[in-house]
Amino acid sequence: MYNTIMEVNIFTNGLKSKIYGKNTILFESLESTNKKMIEDLNNKIILDEGTVYIALKQTSGKGSYGNAWQSDNNLGLWFSVLVYSPFKKEALSFLPGIALSKYLREKYNIDAHVKWPNDVLVGNKKISGTLIQVTPIDNNKNACIIGTGVNLYHKKDDFPDDIRDKAVSLFIETNKKTEIENFYKDLIYYFEEIYTSSKSLTEYFRIYSKMIGKTIKAVKDKEEIEAIVKDITEEGYLIVEVDNKTETWISRASLDIDTNY
């Protein structure tokens, strides 16, 4: 169900971005903003580049590789951004995390950093994650739906027991409650600034990630390993050294990377 236009306007009035977020649609509750946007596109609903769906609550939010994303509450910012046939052929999973890390560092003095490929950490705790899905529009055009969740208002006890010591929120870090609409408008501005920049996302990743040069622990194909992170490729692949041999990690489908590094 759509919220009223007045409620939507609080997310667009004073927006500094030029394209992204100009068409923002607010829902009281959805299974998932990604799922709803894909359904609408498949039903031939015309959505502009940079359209954003925001849900005050997601009943079936998903993270990467089918993991549940705890968003069945009004404690965070849960949204999806639409990008058509991306003009930057790069790993867009970096994009929201870079934008959020830059924003949190500059506006809140929070030392946030990007964990490959799609999470944002504060220290060794997760504050945000991203799920990207692609659906074809026609023979020459794809729609890329970039879904992101940011923990805003959670207190420690608001997180489920199994992630309570692994998750963090803006409120926990600042002890202040920011207005969700102002946070969103600033974040989508950073999103657009980075996406339209002449600097590549991998260049930004090197700035806003702490992984490169570090020894990380991971479970790879059910085996515990240590790897030295050497670099990131233009496609967004991670270059690591394991037992003095160079490997290229393309996705984290068979990986579980520790957050302590």
pTM: 0.91
pLDDT of 61 strictly over 60: no
Query: For the residues 103-128, what does the mean pLDDT come to?
Result: 97
Q: What is the pLDDT of residue 184?
A: 97
Q: What is the average per-residue pLDDT within 59-81?
A: 70
For residue 89, with 0-12 CB atoms within 10 Å meaning exposed, 13-18 middle and 19 or more buried, which class applies? exposed
3-class secondary-structure state, position 155: coil
Instruction: Determine contact, residues 47/23, Cβ cutoff 8 Å.
Output: yes
Interval 63-75 mean pLDDT: 60
Whole-number average pLDDT of the chain: 90
CA torsion sign for 95, 101, 105, 109 is positive
- pLDDT at position 7, please? 59
Share of the chain above pLDDT 90, in %: 77
How far, in Å, CA of 238 to CA of 94, rounded? 12
